[in-house]
Chains A and B, each alone.
Chain A
Amino acid sequence: GDSVTQMEGPVTLSEEAFLTINCTYTATGYPSLFWYVQYPGEGLQLLLKATKADDKGSNKGFEATYRKETTSFHLEKGSVQVSDSAVYFCALSERTDKLIFGTGTRLQVFP
């Protein structure tokens, strides 16, 4: 069945460092891909999405490109801030909109 694999955390960075969180997927068709973020004490929020190959989703300085050839959707940010500390989830959905999530990656940014 469909699945999502993302790098284990925690990822610990200093402020203004470059961030990459790896995400790869397995799917039978052509899914839509998502990054959700969960800030401490808050619910899941959509960060960005891409619905077809080579699409780039972007929001709040974060970017991810849908790479069909490598079945990947890696999350990147050029300069992280303390306020980016959160848990990041990669997810996919196919025909029924059912979201299949990865296990999440905790990001900790220190000043």
Chain B
Amino acid sequence: EAGVAQSPRYKIIEKRQSVAFWCNPISGHATLYWYQQILGQGPKLLIQFQNNGVVDDSQLPKDRFSAERLKGVDSTLKIQPAKLEDSAVYLCASSSRTSGGTDTQYFGPGTRLTVL
């Protein structure tokens, strides 16, 4: 079974530029998550989708970050404009959870973003 795919693996941009990350979850997984992992910290949830609806985006900086999950499969996370403090690894995860209970989240390899 293929795992969670993410691209690109690395990205270097200058501040005020825009950037987009792509995630393809495990086939059949209804729930998709984007996490931000700043160096030396644990991952922090940015947004959670169930199918193509948003479950939780309370920690997403909506003035510069946006995310979508069209057709309930792939997802894109965008930052516009980027700031220095956005330098981090952006992790995508998916789970088969549809309602209730707690299911295992499977993580992709992440995209390492450096903002100069």
Contacts and interface: CB of A to CB of B under 8 A. Distances in A.
Interface residues of A, number: 22
Contact of A103 (B31, B35, B40): B40
Nearest to A44: B107
Contacts of A99: 33, 35, 43, 45, 105
Contacts of B108: 43
Contacts of B104: 46, 49
Nearest to A6: B42
Contact of B48 (A42, A46, A98): A98
Contacts of B105: 46, 97, 99
A82 B91 CA distance: 26
Nearest to B92: A43
Interface string A69-93: 0000000000000000000010101
Contact of B42 (A42, A93, A102): A102
B103 to A, nearest CB: 7
A103 B35 CA distance: 14
A11 B44 CA distance: 23
Interface string B78-116: 000000000000010101010000111111111000000
A96 B48 contact: yes
B45 A89 contact: no
A43 B91 CA distance: 8
B56 interface: yes
B43 A42 contact: no
A51 B104 CA distance: 11
Given A93-B102, A103-B40, 10 more contacts: A43-B4, A44-B91, A44-B93, A45-B107, A46-B106, A97-B31, A97-B103, A99-B43, A101-B42, A103-B41
13 contacts: A36-B107, A43-B108, A44-B107, A46-B104, A46-B106, A96-B56, A97-B48, A97-B103, A98-B45, A98-B48, A100-B45, A101-B43, A104-B42
